[in-house]
Amino acid sequence: MHSLVLALALAAPVVTAHVWAAPVKAENAANRKTAAKPKLRKTADQAVQPGEFANFGQWQEVAAFIDDMVERHGFDRKALEILFREARYVDSAIQLVKPAPPGRPKNWRAYRARFIEPMRIQAGADFWQTHAQALERAEQMYGVPAEIIVGIIGVETVYGRNTGNFRVLDTLTTLGFDYPDTPNRTARMKFFRGQLEQTLLLSRESAIDPFTLLGSYAGAIGLPQFMPGSIRNFAVDFDGDGKIDLRNSQVDAIGSVANFLVQHGWQSGQPIAFPATVTTTSMNGNPDNRWEAYIGQGLEAKYTLAEMATAGIAANGEAPADLPYGLVDLQNGSEATEYWLGAANFFAITKYNRSFFYAMSVVELGRAVRTARGG
């Protein structure tokens, strides 16, 4: 085992609440070294140029982070200093988290077409067929329909085909200490530093080299693309082999997705969403924009059908009158916006990814896969 891993693992009492499978093959040690001479960089305010080597061990903010990890979690200081000297700056992660250029309209139909397509539907049908027993067990235990679990794993990684090749430690360090200049920069840096903390704790608890954790450019790991904190808090050993392995165990991924949704508000047996119409003109033909007050009201269902009806919002289906809803707007560029009423279960999916487009893609992919199976 790498000496760094031993140092991290032995720096504090062993924690057994969260375990992991054997890590993927570690990189050759020679690949971790760079011939570039590190440039002294005291703070994150001095911008790193694209492709430039950054010695995170020289950053003041990183040093403060190390101090905190030593004080609060009992990590070995020297081990962390070595680790951050070996971490790489990932400029592509910086570019990928930047918001889309202003003026580009959102387009639900274009977004949908990326996920509700034949290859992904067939892969989902195959996945469901292979893991039908685990999906049924998850549905019985957690109350989350198999099609929703299948939809999430399909949208996230095409059932494990695209889990990401970024070293998680590199991307989280980069984003945690040098997030691009955006209005939410401070909050996002805090989030990614928190996930970096979770990565180190997860690695120590599992006695694995943190550099072997691969994932997305934002640090998400495995078939269901859980962030490190979500792995520690919501992942489950669903295949019963005594370890949690979201990178290689499809069954653990199935149970973990279901548990995540339940822990974020999923209600067994309740509906997800209903098509809706919005009336934009009053009976005398004048503009009526009262419905706009229901747009952008957070990721939760909190309005009755009666309340929304007074603003010209109506469900186009058998929406139960005794449930709360939220207005979901799926913009289609220059075309007409598509409206839905989302129940609590719809908004539980948005806790996985804070996007109406994402949640509806999960729902529709799951339905398409179920249909393809003859369900």
In whole angstroms, give the CA distance from residue 138 to residue 251: 9
Marked catalytic residue, from 86, 139, 147, 156: 156
**Catalytic residue status for 156:** yes
Q: What token pair was written down for 322? A: 């005794």
In whole angstroms, give the CA distance from residue 274 to residue 139: 22
In whole angstroms, give the CA distance from residue 88 to residue 166: 11
In whole angstroms, give the CA distance from residue 90 to residue 308: 46
The 3-state DSSP class for residue 40 equals coil
Nearest to 345 by CA among 241, 268, 250: 268
Q: Counting every residue, how long is the chain?
A: 375
Residue with tokens 């503009």: 287
Alpha helices, H only, the chain: 3-10, 60-73, 77-86, 91-97, 108-115, 118-130, 132-142, 146-157, 168-178, 185-206, 228-234, 250-263, 305-309, 344-350, 356-372
Q: What token pair was written down for 160? A: 């494990």
Which residues are bridge partners to 20 per DSSP? 244
Burial environment of residue 195 by CB neighbours within 10 A (0 to 12, 13 to 18, 19 or more) = buried
Distance of CA 246 to the CA centre of its chain: 13
Secondary element (H or E) of residue 275: strand 273-278
Output phi, psi for 182, to 5 deg.
-130, 165
Active site positions, annotated: 156
